[in-house]
Amino acid sequence: MKPAFIVVEGLEGAGKSTVLSVITDWLAQRQLPFISVREPGGTPLAESLRTLIKQEWQEHVHAETELLIMYAARNQLVHEVIQPALAQQQWVVGDRHDLSSRAYQGGGRELNDEMLQTLGAMTLKGFKPDLTLYLDIEPELGLTRARSRGALDRIEREALSFFQRTRARYQALAAADPNIVTLDASQTPEQVKAEVLAILEQQWPS
């Protein structure tokens, strides 16, 4: 079976960690070699950039600055880790990818999508996930869940309207791309797990 790049996307509190575990357990049960990655991050350089993105600064972090850091980290991860792993017949399970930038910076920060597409074309060169699972959730519910986990980072503390715009962009992008499957993340973990397993079995039958 040809290895694939599977990505999980969604707002804070959507349950990405649970779904990522479902996917990796499914791969392990089938004895398929895999690695897990996260964005931003995944390499020493990209993890340093993650710290820059997440922490608070006395100066204002401009939306374009944030966007460029995100794509720098993504470029490093794709070329240093993801593509080599796929070439070595390993599956890759990703916690976020390019869709996050198009939703958070494009939707939430209201940056021009043409700018994002240009950066994506320059850094990714047509590379994209084989399957993206988008966990859709009302921002209010997701943020309530996120707060229960502990302190929020710089982006997680944005106004509710930011996450509403982000969700709207996620929904629009998912509706336009057949490789993105939307799941209702407000369901119970058991219901979400069952849907994820059904999607994986349909895409890659045993």
Distance CA 143, CA 61 (A): 22
Q: What is the pLDDT of residues 71-129, one digit of tens each?
A: 999 999 999 999 999 999 999 999 999 999 999 999 999 999 999 999 999 999 999 99
**DSSP secondary-structure letter at 131?**
E
For residue 95, what are the β-bridge partners?
A: 8, 38
pLDDT confidence band for 135 (50 / 70 / 90): very high
C-alpha dihedral sign at 108, 114, 115, 120? positive
CATH of domain 5-203: 3.40.50.300
Q: Would the pLDDT of 159 be above 90?
A: yes
Query: Which residues have CB under 8 Å from 65's CB, separation 6+?
Result: none
Q: Would the pLDDT of 190 be above 90?
A: yes
Whole-prediction pTM: 0.95
Distance CA 174, CA 191 (A): 21
Q: Locate the domains of the chain by residue range.
A: 5-203
For residue 33, what are the β-bridge partners?
A: none
pLDDT confidence band for 167 (50 / 70 / 90): very high
The alpha helices in the chain, defined as continuous H runs, are: 16-29, 44-54, 63-77, 83-87, 98-103, 113-124, 139-149, 160-176, 189-203
